Structure 1
Amino acid sequence: MDELDWKVLTLLQANGRISYTELARQVHLSVPAVTERVKRLESAGVIDGYTARVNPAAAGYPVSALIGITVPQPAKAKFLKLLETIPEVVECHHVTGADSYVMRLVAVSMAHLEQLIERINLYGETRTSIVMSTPLPARGLARPVAASKGSRG
């Protein structure tokens, strides 16, 4: 990926609804050239979708928690199937360390969170951290420092 690809990605991450005309204007390319770049980035899997960011608290989910769980190997498939049935689990990561998985959940209340944890606890030992605030919300990717210092790729 070159510098222009990263400029396009930066603009799309800031505003996924930006028009190709505006995108082309901001990166100093023609509309067909920027359209081709975006299509190439999509085909390569660099851009893997477009979505609206939803504020959980404003949408009725004021409680957010991070839960780590240690799941025994024989139960992993059933555990992952369970997570598919719980829409309040908004992301889950298979990790190294003390936990097998770390997930982020949202809930409408502490009682609701407790019910969710009880369902998840059937598959292993959990550790829950309640999110008090988010000083650094999810953000877009920037060009890797190594890539901007002369390495190719």
Structure 2
Amino acid sequence: MPADFVHPVLGALAYDQGLNWYSADGASNSVPQLYLSLDECPDEDVFIAQASRRLESLSASIARAKGAACSLLELANSEWLPEGATPMDAAGFMAKLTVDSATFYPDGTMDVIFRADDLFAGHGVIVSLDADGQAIDAAICG
């Protein structure tokens, strides 16, 4: 069974047996909470090394995820905008998104979760990225 440990790049990693992942508080300035999912992980050491290398491009991945979240702008304006409120543009929409967490998966994909201020009645936004860091999906979550 995996155990808590300190990684030289990722910092203190705490293992959660119920979720089968490690969490790293403040491993990056780009994201307050980082998770490493061990589901379907063939080699934990290789995956952790891969995750530490991905920190270098995390800011760029988060920027792409935030841009992809704009696919929800029309939905926000048509279904979630309070009556009488002025519809938002992309810049206003993105300004309301704050990074909450990122989860790395062994296959190289990742999910970025944003707090969405008042956009979706307290729900967040999740954006999934492929192994190349390109957005593949954005949805309301929580």
TM-score, L = length of structure 1: 0.22
Determine which structure has the larger helix proportion and give its number: 1
Determine which structure has the larger strand proportion and give its number: 2
Higher relative contact order (CA 8 A, sep 6+): 1
TM-score, L = length of structure 2: 0.23
